[in-house]
Structure 1
Amino acid sequence: MEISSNLTLELLNQPFLLEKRIELLFAIERCGSISKAAKEVPMSYKKAWEAVNAMNNLSSKAVVQTETGGKGGGGTSLTPYGKNLLKTYLVLKQEQKKFLENLKNITDIDTGTLKTIGRLAMQISARNQISGVIEEINTENVNAEICVKLKSGYTLVSNITKGAVNNLNLKQNDEVTAIFKSNTVLVSTDTNLNISARNKFEGVIEAINEGEINSELIINIGNEDKIASIITTNSIKTLNLNIGSKICAIIKASDVMIGK
């Protein structure tokens, strides 16, 4: 038995993006005409116009624009805002699909009970949660090495069990989240440091939150990928660390968990 649900986005307590309207927008993008798009969906020409007007009226920016006359005889097209809405909706739809698949996996349909429903809303205390795409999976007898390409361009390596790979159904090109605690992140001012830890990322200190004993460093490693590190306040003084200082963040592959 499957679990399914439609996805509707609302504005001002009114339905804004419904699946039928999304189909219409895609058809308008393909056809360049509301009448042709309406036939393709299908829906009546009147309903198509009503849907377009409703979206344009509810939104702060026009979703669909119409041109009359001209060399090409006019037509209908999506505005840049409308095209971005489609991309956003598809991302939300994919996340909804993942949620429903997880819900199906922890639901016993026959008895009507939910197994460990709390996992779906679980918040993680680990300070560092960085998203990326799996570019390679190398498996051994017991463990597996997961290579995750980050937005910064760096590749982060995680060592997890083969069982975890199977349970998460990890595959190449999957979007995942790399999770690690801030107190497992070592730092060094020596960018040429040779160390056995698989992950070494050069970055710039963006913020320092000082405490009496320990302090938190926020390190920007590029393209808004940021790593938090907890070190002693005394170490900050010894290493002469300041906002803007170049630094290396070092993380063992065994300290990196993978979430999907």
Structure 2
Amino acid sequence: MDSIKTEIQGRLWITKQDHSFIGRGRVELLEKIAQYGSIAKAAKAMKMSYKAAWDAIDAMNNLAQEPLVRCSSGGKGGGGTQVTEYGRQLIATFRAIEAEHQQFLEQLSQQIEKFDHFYQLMKHINMSTSARNQFIGTVTHIKIGQVNAEIVLKLKGDDHIVATITQESVKRLGLQEGSEAYVLIKAPHVILVPTDSELEFSARNRLCGKVTRLIGGDAVNAEVVLELSGGNTLKAVVTQEAVTELAIKEGQALCGIIKASHVILAVKKPR
């Protein structure tokens, strides 16, 4: 009977707080951006949609200590997209780890002589939600009320977010000052207003930044992406009428208003 070569194969992912950060596909996307200086050309080379490429970049930038990709528009050079020095270092580090990982798998494969069953030894669970905005925050303050609790979290930079959840949820999530938690906000729950608006809002959260992308979407709605001071990106889905009334365009300064009750908190499950 012919011998059948048995090999162990695996995929390498770098995670932050059990949240997918970067893997081979995202590294290849960064490499294509560095090569072409364009998100659109990089997405085409990767055979992925322009929107999917941007979503991947936003996810990486939101979890990274520093931005991995920067975009510029206009100017003498005509604008473009660049991978930052931090991003290039990350690419090099990942490729080095990947080479070591492959060598480890090859050595492990050589030690297998026979087996009866395959077992899945490890499985990374990605958090999949419908919320377009996902951040990591650190709890700085918890105020307990009669029924609900007010949780204040610090995001990257000087941005803070306030969430109102039940006391039961505070206990179930094990929240305390210094704990880290995911902050989830659905894009339709983000209301955009000018930074110099004279109106006062009852909503507790006000995150300000500049418009980096305006995606037409359909005849009714559009997606607006703000780059916040700390490097996070905030997505809002607004009507085309609102885009016209606010004269929204790239580079414009706007603020996203979010009710504390619309902020969802999540933590990783204990092992």
Equivalent residue letter for 2:205: N
User: Which aligned pairs between 1:123-134 and structure 2 lie closer than 5 A?
Assistant: 123-134=128-139
Q: Distance in 2 between matches of 1:236 and 1:123?
A: 29
Distance (Å, rounded) in 1 between the aligned partners of 2:171 and 2:258: 24
Matched, 1:176 2:173: no
Distance of 2:148 and 2:138 partners within structure 1: 20
State the partner residue of 1:72: none
Contact 1:208 1:242 in 2 (8 A): yes
1:196 counterpart (196, 202, 212): 202
Matches within 5 A, 1:205-224: 205-211=211-217, 212-224=219-231
Deviation at 1:134, TM superposition (A): 0.4
- Paired with 2:207 and 2:196, the residues of 1 have a C-alpha distance of 9
2:167 matched to which residue of 1?
162
Name the SS of the counterpart of 2:261 in structure 1. Answer: helix
Q: Deviations over 1:97-147 (max 9, x none)?
A: xxxxxxxxxxxxxxxxxxxxxxx5551111011111100000111100000
| AA at the equivalent of 1:132 | G
| Cα displacement string for residues 163-183 of structure 1 (whole angstroms, at most 9, x for unaligned residues) | 000001101011111111000
Q: Which residue of 1 aligns with 2:148?
A: 143
Matches within 5 A, 1:1-260: 121-192=126-197, 193-211=199-217, 212-260=219-267
Query: Contact conserved, 1:159 with 1:254, CA < 8 A, in 2?
Result: yes
* Pair 1:121–1:202, CA change in 2 (3 A): closer
Q: CA deviation at 1:148?
A: 0.3
Contact 1:129 1:177 (C-alpha < 8 Å) held by counterparts = yes
Q: CA deviation at 1:223?
A: 2.2
Q: By how many angstroms is 1:191 displaced?
A: 3.0
The residue identity in structure 1 corresponding to 2:159 is Y
The alignment partner of 2:254 has SS state of strand
Please give the per-residue CA displacement for 1:25-44, whole angstroms capped at 9, x wherever unaligned.
Answer: xxxxxxxxxxxxxxxxxxxx
Tell me the CA shift for residue 242 of structure 1. 0.2
What is the rounded CA distance, in whole Å, between the counterparts of 1:121 and 1:245 in structure 2? 34
Rg comparison, structure with higher value = 1
Gapped runs of 5+ residues in structure 2? 1-8, 11-88, 94-124
Give CA-to-partner distance per residue, 1:166-220, whole Å, 9 cap, x none: 0011010111111110000000114343111000122101101112210000011
Q: Find the residue that maps to 2:154 and give its secondary structure.
A: strand
Distance 2:183 2:235 in 1: 13
Cα distance in 1 for residues equivalent to 2:168 and 2:249: 42
Q: With structure 1 as the length reference, what TM-score do the two structures score?
A: 0.53
**In the alignment, which residue of structure 1 is the partner of 2:17?**
none
TM-superposed deviation, 1:222:
1.4
Looking at structure 2, the residues matched to 258 and 135 of structure 1 have their Cα atoms a distance apart, in angstroms, of: 14
Which amino acid in structure 2 is aligned with residue 205 of structure 1?
V
**2:228 and 2:141 mapped to 1: Cα distance?**
21
Decide whether the 8 Å contact of 2:195 with 2:253 is kept in 1.
no
5+ residue gaps, structure 1? 1-11, 14-80, 86-119
Contact 1:191 1:202 in 2 (8 A): no
